Structure 1
Amino acid sequence: MNLAIPPTNHTYALYAITLGDYVENAAEKQIRQVFDHMKQAWANADAASFGECFTEDSDFVSFRGEHYKGKASNIAAHEKSFSGMLKNSSLYINIKSIRFLNETMAVVHAEGTVLKEYETATNCKLSYTTNILIKENGVWKITSFHNSKKHRKGLFSRLLGI
């Protein structure tokens, strides 16, 4: 973060700015907020809030290949998981790219994982997600979320740098 000194009534006031404030447009910021909302809902184990990020007819494909059709199915699966195997976990998402197909549709590629309390993103296996977002009534929502394992090179390939 950098500090800037903008002129304010012939005096100066400090406020925080980031590179994203200059580079990202409003739609990109709104899309990033969808993923921030998703992470917060996950941290709160709030499946209903998690579901707010998705359209009613959305498709969600988990890292295990489970396919949840519709928001209600997605919420029900996460309610069960948040009280079971995903209890006390957090969601790590690193958006790699946002590509707008038109003014109301975007493709977002990200890497991410579910972290247990003792894990960090640097010491775990990441997966890729491909997300299609649409703008419904002025609000960006995920209509398709597909999660797949990230291929890790074997020892031989890593040693040879191929």
Structure 2
Amino acid sequence: MPSQRTKRAAVLGATVVVLGGLMVPTALPAVGRSAPTQNAHGATHDALKEFERLRQRQADAWARQDGAAFAATFTLNGDVVTFNGDHLRTRQGIAVGMQYYFDKYIPDNTIRYLDEHVRFAGPRLAIIVRTTCLVDAGQSDCRDDSLSTNTNVMTRHQGRWLQESFQNTRVDPLP
């Protein structure tokens, strides 16, 4: 029978292998790059192009204040955790919840993307962390209170990428 120490070593070793497999850095494609390349998990830069299209669809839906179009970038069972901690569940729930926010709380504005880090955790799983802000209609600069860090979990099903989960956290620096 293995000792407690042997069991702990086996668990630790397995954890390192699993976590190590998740840490595959992937840079955004360079403008004008012609042939997509694969990372260690077989994900291509074509996936990055799909992520960009989804990001743009979501930004366009936001600018139009269209909850259904915003939700269409998610899987049927997707999740959104909003900046205030509300948890919207399922594509339909996201559509209804976002439309409510657009109608009641979100003024006319656009999303500005400031930074993005993409990493692939497998051939059908990617994590995107973005820094964004909101630019109010008629303005050119980010609104002071709108800086956010967003985490997107992207999954590939039936040949296409969609958002599985999205968490939006307002940046609130410590004093």
Shorter-chain TM-score bucket reads 0.7 to 0.9
Task: Confirm or deny that 1:21 pairs with 2:21.
Answer: no
Paired residues, number = 137
Q: Which runs of 5+ in 2 are unaligned?
A: 1-28, 37-44
State whether residues 51 and 74 of structure 1, in contact with CA within 8 Å, keep that contact through their aligned partners in structure 2.
yes
* Structure 2 counterpart of 1:147, one-letter code: N
State whether residues 95 and 108 of structure 1, in contact with CA within 8 Å, keep that contact through their aligned partners in structure 2.
no
Question: Using a 3 Å threshold, how does the CA distance of structure 1 residues 125 and 42 change in structure 2: closer, same or farther?
Answer: closer
- TM norm structure 1: 0.75
Measure how far apart 1:124 and its partner are. 4.6
The within-5 A match list for 1:106-121 is 106-117=126-137, 118=139, 120-121=141-142
In structure 1, what is the equivalent of residue 125 of structure 2? Answer: 105
Task: Confirm or deny that 1:137 pairs with 2:137.
Answer: no
Question: Using a 3 Å threshold, how does the CA distance of structure 1 residues 153 and 110 change in structure 2: closer, same or farther?
Answer: same
What is the SS of the residue equivalent to 2:31?
helix
State whether residues 35 and 93 of structure 1, in contact with CA within 8 Å, keep that contact through their aligned partners in structure 2.
no
Measure how far apart 1:20 and its partner are. 2.4
Measure how far apart 1:60 and its partner are. 0.4
Give aligned-pair identity as a percent: 20
Q: CA RMSD in A?
A: 2.2
* Structure 2 counterpart of 1:120, one-letter code: D
State whether residues 60 and 74 of structure 1, in contact with CA within 8 Å, keep that contact through their aligned partners in structure 2.
yes
Q: In structure 1, how many angstroms separate the alpha carbons of the residues matched to 2:115 and 2:46?
A: 16
Q: In structure 1, how many angstroms separate the alpha carbons of the residues matched to 2:81 and 2:101?
A: 15
Flag the structure with higher strand content: 1
Task: List structure 1 segments (4+ residues) > 3 angstroms apart after TM superposition.
Answer: 122-125
Of the three residues 97, 104, 108, the one matched with 1:84 is 104
What is the SS of the residue equivalent to 2:32?
helix
In structure 2, what is the equivalent of residue 64 of structure 1? Answer: 84
What is the SS of the residue equivalent to 1:133?
strand
Measure how far apart 1:86 and its partner are. 1.4
Q: In structure 2, how many angstroms separate the alpha carbons of the residues matched to 1:97 and 1:77?
A: 27
Task: Confirm or deny that 1:43 pairs with 2:54.
Answer: no
Measure how far apart 1:92 and its partner are. 2.4
CA deviations on 1:22-58 (whole Å, 9 max, x unpaired) are: 2872111111111111001111121111111101111
* Structure 2 counterpart of 1:67, one-letter code: H
Measure how far apart 1:79 and its partner are. 1.1
In structure 1, what is the equivalent of residue 116 of structure 2? Answer: 96
Q: In structure 2, how many angstroms separate the alpha carbons of the residues matched to 1:95 and 1:64?
A: 22
